[in-house]
Amino acid sequence: MNTQDIVSAVEAVQAAILANEAHIESLDRAIGDGDHFINVRRGCEAIVAMRPELSQLPPAAAFERIGMKLLSTIGGASGPLIASFFMSMGRELAGIEQPDTREFAQALAAGVEAIKKRGKADVGEKTMLDVLIPTSRLLQRLAAEGADRESLCMKIKQEAEANMLATRDMIATKGRAHFLGERALGHIDPGAKTSQVAVFAVCDMLTE
């Protein structure tokens, strides 16, 4: 993986987020304040606009720049969480010019850990972490096993989708949805949805 791959991945995520606008918006309107799509779209636009600057940097520095940019462009609960994800990935990749799958999986795990810490949340709380934690763990395992890219991406997508859907039956204990109590039941968490959409976009980009 190099910085060009990172930029391509962000562009793929941006396209996928835009393609899922109506669904993502309706989810945050149902159990949040309706701005999640706008927040994520703004973040994607900001990163894509940094393309010339990013392409000069090694992956570690590119992730750190992305994180810093997101901190100032995405508001709400998700902004600082997603920003800390990228900054931790950058820190984890320090000194690695061309991360391989295992190194990338390790960096992703560090990014997810940063979201857990900052959000003071874990699996089962009806947040983005319900997709990110199990998916990141599976990636680490598959990378350690040396799985080929096709089967790795297929399994990762299945994991992300199943865990995104599982948030429908959860009561939120973090974020705005927790004010709704049982009324949040039956609705997928918006952050879990955008996380799944992002995972799909990156996997599809890597296997097309």
When the beta carbons of 28 and 159 are compared against Mg ion, the nearer one is 28
Which positions from 27 to 66 touch ligand ADP by CB under 6 A, shown as an x/- string? -x---xx-xx--x---------------------------
Residue 111 interacts with which of ligand ADP, Mg ion, none, CB < 5 to 8 Å by class: none
Distance of CA 85 to the CA centre of its chain: 8
The interface with ligand ADP within residues 81-120 (CB under 6 A) comprises 81, 115, 119-120
Q: Which residues have C-beta within 8 Å of that of residue 78, sequence separation ≥ 6?
A: 36, 39, 40, 128, 191
- Which range, of 52-60, 99-107, 126-134, 142-150, touches ligand ADP by CB under 6 A? 126-134
User: Residue 59, Cβ neighbours under 10 Å: how many?
Assistant: 25
Return the residues of window 177-196 that contact ligand ADP according to CB under 6 A.
189-192
> How many CB atoms sit inside 10 A of residue 100's CB?
11
* 36 is a site residue for Mg ion (CB under 5 A): yes
How many secondary structure helices (H) and strands (E) does the chain include? 10, 0
Quick one: which of 3, 24, 22 has its CA closest to 198?
A: 24
Contact call for residues 109 and 99 (beta carbons, < 8 A): no
Q: How many Cβ atoms sit within 10 Å of the Cβ of residue 177? A: 26
For position 206 contacting ligand ADP by CB under 6 A, the verdict is: no
**Binder of Mg ion out of 3, 16, 24, 32 (CB under 5 A):** 32
For residue 134, the partner it binds in Mg ion, ligand ADP, none, with Cβ less than 5 to 8 A by kind, is none
Backbone φ/ψ region at 148: left (φ over 0), alpha (ψ -120 to 50), beta: beta
Report in angstroms how near the CB of residue 14 gets to ligand ADP at its nearest: 16
Q: Which does 168 bind (CB under 5 to 8 A by kind): ligand ADP, Mg ion, none?
A: none
Q: Is 79 in the site for Mg ion (CB under 5 A)?
A: no
Query: Is 136 a residue that touches ligand ADP (CB under 6 A)?
Result: no
> Chain centroid to CA 102: how far?
18
Judged by CB, which is closer to Mg ion: 91, or 176? 176
Interacting residues with Mg ion (CB under 5 A): 28, 32-33, 35-36, 76
